[in-house]
Amino acid sequence: MESLIRLRKELHKNPELSGEEFETSKRILAFLEKYKPDEIHTEIGKTGIIAIYHGEEEGKTLLFRCELDALPIKVVNTFEHQSIYQGISHKCGHDGHMAILCGLATELAQKKLATGKVILLFQPSEENGKGAAKVMKNEFFKTLRPDFVFALHNLPNYPKNQIVVKKDTFTCAVTSLKIVLQGKTAHAGEPENGINPALAMAEITQKFHLLNQPKLEQNGFALITPIYSSMGKKSYGVSAGNGEIHFTIRCQQNEEIKKLKNTREEKVNAISKIHQLKSTVKWIEPFYANENNAEAVGLISEATKKLNYALFEKETPFRWGEDFGLFTAHYPGALFGLGAGLETPDLHNPDYDFPDEIIATGVKVFYQICKDVNDAR
């Protein structure tokens, strides 16, 4: 545990943004070298790593994933392991998730499984939703074909070491929408000679808001949130001729978000036409819903009970997106939660820090799943 905590703090101190996790990968590789994986593969999705441990005999193939990247969030912590970069920090707990997966490596190295194969995936670029897709396109990864895929995420506002599970959707499908409107610039004293996008931007925002159904416990959950907008320049003699507005869209299931994307794009085009604007719609940063497999959830629950940890079965999904959803869309598997404490700051908050006390819990649950699947005779 001491070495895992040192690693976690070192990772926290040296964060890197999505797609730039080169030094992070080097630190992970240096740690793994002490625990001799049977196979190790680098540059997976650019900066990712795959380490594989084989059992004594053939069996099931299990994949466990963590994330490498940090966030562009200002540092306010003053502890010794605070980020050395003022505008970059591990405020989602990926440093802790990496420590947990490295802890699983130590267990697999020291207590070899009787059967099967375990794949440890250190995935880049989770925060921008691009990493899982890059990994899936990797030619080596395509050969692996895991029987089950697993990942965890720490959860502030849940008791420390509590395991949180849910069948079906665990985290929502999320995508972002960038709308660019092009009109015609004119003198501010003669706006009728131009085409200003202000009214169209206001109408799009209002129409999107009216379609919100923000209650997860009801059918048709949809949450459309304004994120960013800009229009014209700070030149008070000029009526703006262009504008830009961004939203995020969330639904419970992958099929639902496909339908909502089509209707929103149609609405933007219709409003733009009424206001004589040219519109461009671009969908960015997609996150698949984590639609958990019932058998995989059962394995997590059984492991939790054997280890005497508290188990909580959640009734509604989390609203946030998680890149692991692309894996559960292709393989049986599940994402589950690990309670980070009732007093821990929320994820993505500037004062968040992963609680080291829960590292051992994550390691034990992951390893128990391995034993239950591949040591069973």
> Is the pLDDT score of 217 beyond 90?
no
According to CATH, the topology of domain 2-171+290-374 is Aminopeptidase (3.40.630)
Q: Place 220 in a pLDDT band, splitting at 50, 70 and 90.
A: confident
| Strand blocks (E) in 203-349 | 222-231, 238-239, 242-251, 278-287, 291-292, 311-313, 333-341
- DSSP per-residue codes, 115-174: EEEEEEEEES-TTTT-HHHHHHH-HHHHTT--SEEEEEEEEETS-TT-EEE-SEESB-EE
Is the per-residue pLDDT at 377 higher than 70?
no
- Residue spans per domain, the chain: 2-171+290-374, 174-287
Average pLDDT, the chain: 95
| Predicted confidence (pLDDT) per residue in 260-309, tens digit | 898 899 999 999 999 999 999 999 999 999 999 999 999 999 999 999 99
Average pLDDT rounded to a whole number, residues 45-71: 97
Assign 46 a pLDDT band (cuts: 50, 70, 90).
very high
What's the pLDDT score for residue 376? 67
What share of the chain in percent tops pLDDT 90?
92
Model confidence, pTM: 0.92
Model pLDDT for residues 198-215, shown as the tens digit of each residue: 999 999 999 999 989 988
User: Position 123: which residue type?
Assistant: Q
CATH topology of domain 174-287: Alpha-Beta Plaits (3.30.70)
Mean pLDDT of 161-180: 96
Residue 199 carries which side chain, given as an amino acid letter? L
Query: What CA–CA distance (Å, rounded) separates 115 from 51?
Result: 17
CA distance 110 to 90: 29
Q: Give 62's pLDDT tier (boundaries 50, 70, 90).
A: very high
Contacts of 219 (CB under 8 A, 6+ apart): none
What is the predicted pLDDT for the residue at 218? 81
